[in-house]
Chain A
Amino acid sequence: MPWRDVLQMAWRNIGQARLRFILTCLGVLIAISTLVALVSFGAGLRQQTVENLEVREVFTSFQILGPARAQSFRRFRSPGAENSASSARPVLDQELVGRVAALDGVVSVQPDIRFAVRLENGENAHLTRVRGAGPHVAPLSPYSKITHGRFLSGTEGAEIVLTGRVARRLGFEPAEQAVGKTIQLLTDRLKQDVSDGDLPFETVRLSYQVVGVLPRLLPNQTNPFFRGVVIPLEEARRLWKENASGMTSLSGLSSLEEGRGREYDSIDVRVADLVSLERVREEVRSWGAATFAIVDQMKRIQEAFLVLEVVLGVLGGIAMLVASLGIANVLIISVMERRQVIGIMKAIGGTDRDVRRIFLAEAGLIGFSGGVMGLLAGWTLTRIATVFIDRYFQSNNILNPPDLFAYPLWLVAGAIGFAVGLSLLSGVIPANRASRVDPVQALRQG
């Protein structure tokens, strides 16, 4: 009997016991929707993480660490930072920046410049850290997401971009009111002339125009190396050179006093691709410098998500296992009820294989229908959940909340395939029973 006729006959048989079919499908629907919702949550988290890391260019960037940063990374057992203790390590200065920039495959090299400042707006004041930023961070989150005002126009000039929180601390309510206003920036500078008993620092006061205010974003939506209040790069470098507030070691302070200039905490290096990343990083490490790249952690992140997805999948799979027992039960009852029809089919030329196929097709159709409906139900459920999650984030002033559920093609195909596969498996025993029905006995009983 051709498959087309087998399917037609199976569909007709299912139609004869509609309520039973609907209830059995409902079991599959619940199982698949649970499985889909759980696995799509795991896939969503993975996608969010990987996409964010991609957006944040972490796959093509690494950091050269100064002694203080290398020590803090070692505390977290970062394998990439292990060779930092070398006494022959290079000093993180402009010369090193130039050396790295000359390497093949390097796109940009920028020292991480940040220091503590006091910002003032009339009566309101706030202590924070500012960073220097060049135009190359403009397309990166969070600077790409500025909703009020704009990003810095260049590497020079008295411009500043605030975060919403800092703007509010400075008395701008709502925060976007800060755009266009001038605020004061106070920072310490090493005195040129220090007389006995005086502190070696003096405070300088500078005026900056607020050109933009950053939206509030989730931590994973921002670049780990660039966030917070920023001023133009060269402006920052000038102030930073004379500023000792961020000094973390006596050697650093003494080098400053001796006029050798200040060593950067770290240098951010961007390369063209993943292959260049390994090559350039290896070269820099051969100079004795410690480096750190998030790509080192990627394997562990992927493994963690795989475990999460497997656990969620197993939970959904248990539900499907229960549903498949329901299918087997329904089909076994169906075989008992339809013994006479099976006998008739065999008496008029149906083979054991034909009978087996009809019952397997019924199991497959139940699985397919339940699988498709379960997929739709799971998708609807997660969409509804997303609406509530979005509302929650928005009520907390978080723009562009992440989509926590993902539906990659493998999940869609896998969910339906899993439902059909397990249903077919649960149909094997009933189908074999049906194929073994003795037509003589079946016809006599009828």
Chain B
Amino acid sequence: MESLRVENLTKDYPMGERVVRALDGVSLEVVPGEFLGVVGRSGSGKSTLLNLLAGLDRPSSGSLWIGDRDLAQMSPDQLAHHRQHTVGMVFQFFHLVPTLTALQNVELPMAFTGLSPGMRSEKAKSLLGDVGLSHRLDHIPSQLSGGEQQRVSIARSLANDPQFLLADEPTGNLDSATGKEILEIFKQLHGEGRTVICVTHEQDLWMECLDRVIELRDGRLFREERPGSSHAAGNGDPGEQ
């Protein structure tokens, strides 16, 4: 199990003549098995941080270590390998391939690793069974409810047994009852020893399972809090949240 370490991470986006700084010198460490919540207003840099952790984007400066490997120095193929094996992603809008069935969607990340069709089908069925969708294997996303689609998305994120689970507003597009069901699944995954980093607006919903919460504001780490303890640290007033 490896820890994740971010040092002075900065990400700039050119916007015409201007440069917008989405992340500004963020440093943090996530220990193995931790459940980290990332909160903040829209445009605060939460999703940018998640994309950098996933290796979907590259930092403008700073470093991002998983164990002894710096993502900032990796080649595109190494980053793809990182997304195949080290991290699994869950999105607010599920992002399933609309033309593939639930089973095929879950099989897809395993196809990229070259796993045989028989083995990946078996594993995909098992993962979909774990999220309660054994009866929906052959349904395409448009035939599934939002909650069911998110379960497929979670099953897909686990296809290659990643150590890190990166979730971007996983309950943001669901009603509260379904959101709670999804939360339960995340709790269970965390309980199995996975490191979970979850970006959310719904801090109250997630608070019960988070080990730590960080708040980003204007691309900077503004506040850090450990739910259940009265200790809060940061640059701003904890009472703002």
Contacts and interface: CB of A to CB of B under 8 A. Distances in A.
B99 A439 contact: no
A354 B108 CA distance: 12
B57 A440 contact: yes
B99 to A, nearest CB: 5
B80 A345 contact: no
Interface in B50-98: 51, 54, 56-57, 76-77, 80-81, 83-85, 89, 91, 93, 95-98
Nearest to B110: A349
A340 B112 contact: no
A2, A341, A347, A350 pick with most chain B CB within 10 angstroms: A347
Contacts of A354: 112
Given A1-B114, A351-B112, A440-B57, A344 B96 contact: yes
A227 to B, nearest CB: 68
B111 A13 contact: no
A16 interface: yes
Q: Kindly name the residue among A346, A349, A350 whose own CB sees the greatest number of chain B CB atoms within 10 A.
A: A349
A370 B187 CA distance: 53
A209 B100 CA distance: 84
Contact of A440 (B51, B99, B159): B51
Contacts of B223: none
Given A1-B112, A2-B114, A440-B51, A348 B98 contact: no
A5 interface: yes
Interface string B184-200: 00000000000000000
B142 interface: no
Interface in B85-141: 85, 89, 91, 93, 95-100, 108-109, 111-114, 117
A352 to B, nearest CB: 6
B160 interface: yes
B217 interface: no
B12 to A, nearest CB: 14
B46 interface: no
Contact of A443 (B91, B114, B117): B91
B55 to A, nearest CB: 10
A383 B42 CA distance: 69
B112 A350 contact: yes
Contacts of A341: 97-99
Nearest to A349: B84
Contacts of A16: 99
B220 interface: no
Contacts of B91: 347, 443
Interface in B154-193: 156-157, 159-160
A63 B49 CA distance: 91
A348 B99 contact: no
Contact of B99 (A12, A353, A443): A12
B93 A446 contact: yes
B57 A348 contact: no
B56 A346 contact: yes
B80 A346 contact: yes
Given A16-B99, A439-B56, A349 B113 contact: yes
A116 B109 CA distance: 90
Interface string A13-29: 10010000000000000
Interface string A282-321: 0000000000000000000000000000000000000000
B173 to A, nearest CB: 12
Contacts of B117: 5
Interface string B8-28: 000000000000000000000
A348 B96 contact: no
Nearest to B157: A348
A439 B95 CA distance: 12
Given A1-B111, A352-B76, A347 B83 contact: yes
Contacts of B77: 351-353
A349 B95 contact: no
Nearest to A2: B114
Nearest to B80: A351
B47 to A, nearest CB: 8
B114 A348 contact: no
A13 B100 CA distance: 10
Nearest to B52: A440
Contacts of B157: 348
B92 to A, nearest CB: 10
Nearest to A17: B99
B187 to A, nearest CB: 23
Interface in A389-446: 439-440, 443, 446
Interface of A: 1-2, 5, 9, 12-13, 16, 340-341, 343-354, 439-440, 443, 446
Given A348-B159, A352-B76, A440-B57, 6 more contacts: A346-B56, A347-B89, A348-B109, A348-B157, A349-B109, A446-B93
Closest A-B pairs by Cβ, 3 of them: A349-B84, A351-B80, A349-B112
